[in-house]
Amino acid sequence: MIRIHLEKQLAKKQLKLYELAAIVGMTNANLSHLKTGKAKAIRFSTLMALCKALDCQPGDLLQYVPDDDTE
């Protein structure tokens, strides 16, 4: 699974979700889906806009965590 660490980056920049949404041109609802991990996909253009607005790298926002299931 991929975990989204948007909350950490917002806290570092002391930004509210609605402020970031305005900066990157997204709706609060769509950004909230990313923040809560409910989003199924993210466009590279969105990832680039988030990284630019938050002055971070993609790895600061995304983390791969292996699933616990055994094969």
Q: How does pLDDT run across 36-56, given as a tens digit for each residue?
A: 989 999 999 999 999 999 999
Do 5 and 57 form a contact (C-beta atoms < 8 A)?
Answer: no
How many residues can be counted in the chain? Answer: 71
pLDDT tens-digit map of 5-23: 999 999 999 999 999 999 9
Residue 70: how many other CB atoms lie within 10 Å:
4
Among all chains, which residue has been given the structure tokens 């305005």?
Answer: 22
Tokens of 48: 């680039």
Residue 7's CATH number: 1.10.260.40
Q: How confident is the model at residue 68 (pLDDT cuts 50, 70, 90)?
A: confident
pTM of the complete model: 0.87
Do 25 and 53 form a contact (C-beta atoms < 8 A)?
Answer: no
Among all chains, which residue has been given the structure tokens 């253009």?
Answer: 45
| Number of domain units in the chain | 1
53 located within any domain: yes
